[in-house]
Chain A
Amino acid sequence: MEIIAVFAPLVGFLLAFLFGKNMGDKGAQLVTCVGILIAAFASCYLFSTVVLGAGHAGEQGVLHAAEAYVVTLMNWISSGAMVVDWSLRIDALSVVMMCVVTIVSSCVHIYSIGYMSHDANKARFMSYLSLFSFAMLMLVTSDNLVQLFFGWEGVGVASYLLIGFWNHKDSANAASIKAFLVNRVGDFGLALGIFAAFFVFGTVQFDELFALAAGSADTMMNFFGYELHAMTVICLLLFMGAMGKSAQLGLHTWLPDAMEGPTPVSALIHAATMVTAGVFLVARLSPMFEFAPIALMVVTIVGGLTAFVAATIGMTQFDIKRVIAYSTMSQLGYMFFALGVSAYGAAIFHLMTHAFFKALLFLGAGSVIHAMSDEQDMRKMGGIWRKIPTTYALMWIGSLALAGMPFFAGYYSKDMILESAFADHTWFGNFAFWMGIAAALMTAFYSARLLFMTFHGKARASKKVMDHIHESPFVMLLPLFVLAAGSLFAGYVFYEKFVGHHQIWNGSIFVLPDNDTVTAAHHVPLWVKKLPIVMGALGLFLGWVFYAKYVGLPEKFTKMFRPLHGLFFNKWFFDEFYHKTMVAPASFMGRLFFKTDKNVVDGLGPDGMAKSSLGLAGMLSRFQSGYVFQYAFVMMLGLIGIITWYFFKMDLGAVAPNIEVPTMEMRGGEIQDTIMPVDGTTEAFE
């Protein structure tokens, strides 16, 4: 069953990619949609057997950890102690992720039939979507760090292909390369994290790593010449990868640009699934992060800052997709600080609800863009809600869920995160809590802003566009209904199972007893529980005041807070900063080195030698002068040369073993000492 779930999309991809020309667009759409639907049903089946089966057992007080299992397909890489298999790890965490991925992906596949109906390369588009789904499933079901890396880079490539899908557009090409490269910067950290994990623990298998993690509290390693806590180094390096993929502050600049891709791509990859891979990574490695408190602190702070900064930018953007993109980034920040305060269940809960309502928002936005003849600027929209009422209603559902209004899905998960952060009772937990509260206000504000600017007020589009506005076809609306149902009910239905009293995790998430903030979150003061709702309602109200009631107000505010608005509007100048500090120097250095090759290396080397040998020949001819004293002088020089060489040789032979070798040994000895464990985990190091 798990093999079907993971490989059905791959089959769909291969068929559509290799034989897309032969089977036609219809055929390609059919095989890819069937492939992903099979995967979705298989995943749901696994959910009902593996996850819910365990949950029932839990209620009776009998927990069977054996529900988690690993299917080994074949050996992949084996090099000495580094043994990696292609394998599928099936436990509560991976099955939840599989369900989220396949359900959203199915919706997007079907939606794309309608959305891409005017495109010339339908088969290629559908096949890339399936390729992405396959890579994502390989990521979430991996049983070791290296296969996770495979899925990780695989979704990166699919994302690269899909962002640049309209490859005649220069902006799309630039955005796709930027996405790939910024992600590679994160992957640089992830790869180093894997190397470090192997270096310290001698394995990349999850089970073995997790078993060794508990005993690693005193393990130190030498990294970059410093003696550091090994688990902290490993987790921070791995987290760097998560930051890249999940667009956390610092490595986030690719996400808004990724909106150059077709909208279904933004919904699937850049909202619901791929960007949450980082969240999944930290949750999956919770048995390791739990023993790296400093790493958790960093995760919390980065998450809190991202939630806040992204929300500030989201309030000022005019491109409807970019607003939602910044909102995604902000929500990912929430998930990360939930992880940071050890509320892994809450993070995955928000990941799931967010997948539904954010995919709904993106696909709804796509429906609007489709209706408005590919217009994305909200300043050119307005007054269209009567013309596309279904889309309008669905967008409201998505926005209310995002704003965390009671009984919508986002309400349960976001509140849980904020309460957990408060219940952590650390300074960074508190910091994240207040960042999150501020972000909640802004989230509701920009959601209302988006709704009122897009659908209400005066129509600002040209007459031709306005006349053309139409509700989307059924094939596009059907997936929206599925996602809307998720946005409405997923929170209420799964609350108990994800973060309540009957949790399904069954060992797939590990929390130290002292860090159990999810349980503590049920006992926070009343004002903490109510504050997010108040903020959400206030934000929506302000949005209404600014963008529906007094339409001139935003302009006055912008003038009043010009520097601040400038900062937000220009996205805190991250792009400019990176261009000046990284991109420009790299190309300058490239040119410089290229010149060095030409002038210095070749100049001293072959070209120079050719020149100087000509000169030397001339000089040598002058030597043959016939004067005996000159010959004698040269002989003397030669003799001195030979004697010097002999002395030097003896020096090297005699001195080198005594001086140089001990230093080498000392270094080797240091490394060995540092990885020697203090307690009973010695086997791992042999």
Chain B
Amino acid sequence: MENISILSLLTFLPLIGVLFILLIRGDEARVALNSKRVALYITSFNFLLSLFMLLRFDGSSADFQFVESVEWLPALGLQYKMGIDGISLYFVLLSTFLMPICILASWNSIKNRVREYMIAFLVLQTFMIGTFCALDAVLFYIFFEGVLIPMFIIIGVWGGKRRVYSAFKFFLYTLLGSVLMLLALLVLYLEVGSSDMETLMANPVARGMQMWLWLAFFASFAVKMPMWPVHTWLPDAHVEAPTAGSVILAGVLLKMGGYGFLRFSLPMFPEATEFFAPMVFWLSVIAIIYTSLVALVQEDMKKLIAYSSVAHMGFVTLGIFTATTQGIEGGIFQMISHGVISAALFLCVGVVYDRLHTREISRYGGLVKNMPKYATVFMVLMLGSVGLPGTSGFVGEFLALMGAFQVNTVIAVFATTGVVLGAAYMLALYRRVIFGEQKNVDAAAMKDLTKLEYSYFVPLVALVIWLGVQPSVVMDKISPSVEKLIGQYEAGINKSEQTETAEPIMLEVIEEGLNNE
């Protein structure tokens, strides 16, 4: 594999697509069509390429694989270093899998500036994949922040009525966190003398410094997650974003925060993680209960699903910070599963939005009569979101809670109430949209899923069920890396305990020395 830089190829192939799109000439309709085609081909090819990568990935190893390392700015010791392990593997796949679906979902619903739209998505994909592959902290930062720009444009240009407010809110929130993270990165670089992430993981900084750095990174990742109380950008961003934007936002962008926790907070600042874990637990529990209750009273479909995302991400942060095998694996699986389910749910909203141009729940009702296929698809996804065993939603949630129970039963009990609340708002949504009398004539006249829509719902639904019945296929490749992560984390904590116990001995030695004098 050394001679094929598969990760770089995956990352930068979309940019080549951008070049192609820029070269397209002709009248507007022609440009639009060809841009769509190029984007679809490129992203589909990228997906196939990532499947190839999955095949070549050695699931029994915890090491970084497909590693590429090139000097970048030798004067600063910066390098271009890419590589993936079991933790990042499926996030890369999620990014490549959802992108062709996004292009298909935008096929008919985006009418203006199609060329620019496709470019924005391709650039976005480059940054997303890069984020999950980067093994140099500065490189990671560039990709991580780069994501902001195309997403800001997607919301701000192709969004709904209040798109500018939402785009700025999204930008400000995430930027605020990023600035702190940049500072922390600089400090980390100066302390350790390297920005290589593997080096950083192997050499944790001193305890006091860990605290500050942890908080700075936390600011950035918590906003991305998003965790309560910095979650309010998400409902607005989702509501205003075009369907495909919501899909990427919920499917991939939210996972960057969780990925950051796994890559930076746990291995690099283990003592700080242990110190702050109780705070994260409570924030997660508040997120789960608070946002579930808010979701219960929403009148806007997208807002409801956006709030449910915050609740689901609460399970993720809860699981990750338990630092138990079940908790972390559950957190990762929950992110993968949520990436599929919430993406598909936003597509579901998109389907009816394209037909009626409203997201208001009360404008629909009784859709099971005129859209039975849609009702079935929505049903499976709804049950997945509720966490029904046999769907992917169950596995992550269950494992994360199981991990939480081992660490703190009070937290686990409160968090598990989310299982009841989650069912409440999703069932209520389904009932009001799909069941009941057909009160609205225009809603009752809507056509069932088109072939195009069907083509991207079938793989999503199949994935939700397949991951629910046989999650071990995915989990087997994750677990070596998780074990390694837990090893690093515990080693970091134990080391500090040893030095603490060592201190008194040192003192005794000094005292003895003094006495001898």
Residues of A in contact with B (beta carbons under 8 Å apart): 74-82, 86, 146, 149-150, 152-154, 157, 160, 164, 167-168, 170, 173, 177, 180-181, 184-185, 187-188, 191-192, 194-196, 198-199, 222-225, 586-587, 589-591, 593-594, 597, 601-602, 605-606, 609, 649, 652-654, 656-657, 660-661, 664-665
With an 8 A cutoff between CB atoms, is B44 at the interface? no
CB distance A593 to B294 under 8 Å?
Answer: yes
| Cβ B297 vs Cβ A590 within 8 A | yes
Inter-subunit contact B402/A591 (CB<8 Å): no
A653 to B324, CA, bound (A): 27
For this complex, 10 residue pairs linking A to B, each with C-beta atoms less than 8 Å apart, are A76-B470, A153-B390, A157-B388, A168-B369, A173-B436, A181-B424, A184-B420, A587-B297, A656-B208, A664-B275
Cβ–Cβ < 8 Å partners of B207 in chain A: 653, 656-657
Question: In the complex, are the beta carbons of A168 and B366 less than 8 A apart?
Answer: yes
Across chains A and B, which 10 residue pairs bring their CB atoms closest together, nearest first? A653-B208, A80-B325, A195-B405, A150-B389, A590-B297, A590-B293, A167-B435, A590-B296, A79-B329, A184-B420
B395 touches A77 (CB 8 A): yes
Give every chain A residue within 8 A of B363 (Cβ-Cβ). Answer: none
CB atoms of B389 and A149 under 8 A apart: yes
Contact of B169 among A188, A606, A649 (CB under 8 A): A606
Q: Are A185 and B326 in touch, CB under 8 angstroms?
A: no
Find out whether the CB atom of B232 lies under 8 angstroms from the CB atom of A597: yes
Residues of B within 8 A of A177 (CB): 427-428, 431
Of the candidates B173, B206, B423, B500, which one forms a contact with A606 in the assembled complex, judged by CB atoms under 8 Å apart?
Answer: B173
Which B residues lie within 8 Å of A587 (CB)? 296-297
| Minimal beta-carbon separation of B224 from chain A (angstroms) | 15
Distance in Å from the Cβ of A153 to the closest Cβ of chain B?
A: 5
Q: What residue in chain A is nearest B486 (Cβ atoms)?
A: A80
Cα–Cα, bound, A180→B426 (Å): 12
Answer whether residue B282 sits at the interface, using C-beta atoms and an 8 A cutoff.
no
* Interface segment out of the listed B71-79, B99-107, B409-417: B409-417
Residues of B within 8 A of A591 (CB): 297
Can you name the residue of chain A whose Cβ is closest to the Cβ of B324?
Answer: A80
Query: How far is B330's CA from A74's CA once the two chains are assembled, in angstroms?
Result: 20
The majority secondary structure among interface residues of chain A is helix
Decide if B423 touches A184 in the complex (CB within 8 Å).
yes
With A149-B389, A164-B435, A184-B420 as given contacts, are A79 and B297 in contact (CB-CB < 8 Å)? no
The stretch from B54-62, B128-136, B338-346, B471-479 touching chain A is: B471-479
Contact with A along B206-230 (1 / 0, CB 8 A): 1111011000000000000000011
Say whether B120 faces chain A, with CB atoms less than 8 Å apart: no
A168-B325 CB under 8 A given contacts A181-B423, A601-B232: no
B370 at the interface (CB under 8 A from A): no
Interface: B200 (CB within 8 A): no
**CB of B489 within 8 A of chain A?**
no
Separation in Å of the A357 CB from the closest CB of chain B? 32
Report Cα–Cα, A160/B290, bound state, in Å.
26
Asked if B472 contacts A180 (CB within 8 A), the reply is no
Q: How far is the CB of A31 from chain B (nearest CB, A)?
A: 18
Instruction: Name the residue on B nearest A186 (C-beta).
Output: B420
Query: Residue B368 at the A interface, CB < 8 A?
Result: yes
Known: A150-B390, A167-B435, A657-B500. A80 touches B326 (CB 8 A): yes
Q: Does B229 contact A82, Cβ atoms closer than 8 Å?
A: no
Contact across chains for A594 and B294 when beta carbons are under 8 A apart: yes
Interface status of B437 (Cβ within 8 A of chain A): yes
Contact A222 B409 (CB under 8 A): yes
Report the minimal beta-carbon distance from A362 to chain B, rounded to whole angstroms.
25
Is B187 among interface residues, defined by CB-CB distance under 8 A? Answer: no
Q: Given the complex of chains A and B, what is the CA–CA distance between A161 and B386 in angstroms?
A: 15
Are B232 and A594 neighbours in the complex by a CB distance under 8 Å?
A: no
Report the nearest B residue to A160, measured CB to CB: B427
Residues of A within 8 Å of B395, CB to CB, are 77
B390 → chain A, closest Cβ, in Å?
A: 6
A173 to B368, CA, bound (A): 13
Q: Are A196 and B232 in contact (CB under 8 A)?
A: no
Q: A191-B416, A590-B293, A602-B232 are in contact. Are A652 and B423 (CB under 8 A)?
A: no
Q: Is the CB of B471 within 8 A of A76?
A: yes
State A202–B390 Cα separation when bound (angstroms). 23
Pair B390/A82 contact, Cβ less than 8 Å:
no
Q: Which of B413, B435, B497 contacts A192 (CB 8 A)?
A: B413
Closest to A225 in B: B410
Q: Most A CB atoms within 10 A — which of B172, B325, B409, B412?
A: B409
Residue of B nearest to A237 (CB): B413
Chain A residues contacting B48 (CB-CB under 8 Å) are none
The reply to whether A187 and B232 form a contact with Cβ atoms under 8 Å apart is no
Of residues 313 through 340 on chain B, the ones whose CB sits less than 8 Å from some CB of chain A are: 324-326, 329-330
B220-254 interface (Cβ within 8 A of A): 229-230, 232-233, 235
CB within 8 Å for A74 and B470 given contacts A180-B427, A656-B275: yes
- A contact residues around B293 at 8 Å (CB): 586, 589-590, 593
- In the complex, the answer to whether A168 meets B436 with C-beta atoms within 8 Å is yes
A594–B437 touching, CB < 8 Å:
no
Out of B235, B294, B419, B437, name the residue touching A168 (CB < 8 Å): B437
Looking at the complex, which one of B211, B398, B476 makes contact with A78 (CB distance below 8 Å)?
B476
Contact mask for chain B residues 461-494; partner A; CB cutoff 8 A; 1 contact, 0 none: 0000000011110011001000000000000000
- Could you tell me if A192 and B405 are in contact, using CB atoms closer than 8 angstroms? yes
Pairwise interchain contact A78-B475, C-beta atoms closer than 8 A: yes
Give the complex CA separation of A589 and B398 in angstroms.
Answer: 26
Q: Given A82-B326, A223-B409, output 13 extra A-B contacts at Cβ < 8 Å.
A: A81-B325, A168-B366, A180-B423, A184-B419, A191-B401, A191-B416, A586-B421, A590-B297, A593-B294, A649-B212, A653-B206, A664-B274, A664-B275
- B381 smallest CB distance to A (angstroms): 14
Confirm or deny: B406 has a beta carbon within 8 angstroms of a beta carbon on chain A: yes
- Could you tell me the distance between the alpha carbons of A185 and B419 in the complex, rounded to whole angstroms? 9
Docked CA distance A653–B210 (Å): 10
Are the C-beta atoms of B326 and A606 separated by less than 8 Å?
Answer: no
**Contact between chains at A590 and B294 (CB < 8 Å):** yes
B151, CB-defined interface residue at 8 Å: no
Complex: A665 Cα to B291 Cα, angstroms: 32
**Whole-angstrom distance from the CB of A268 to the nearest CB of chain B?**
20
| Cβ-based interface call for B496 (8 A) | yes
Query: How distant is the Cα of A320 from the Cα of B420 in the complex, in angstroms?
Result: 31
| Minimum C-beta distance from B453 to chain A (A) | 18
Q: A653-B207, A657-B496 are in contact. Are A79 and B436 (CB under 8 A)?
A: no
Write the chain A residue with the least CB distance to B402: A195
Taking a contact as CB atoms closer than 8 A, the residue among B173, B294, B297, B427 that contacts A181 in the complex is: B427
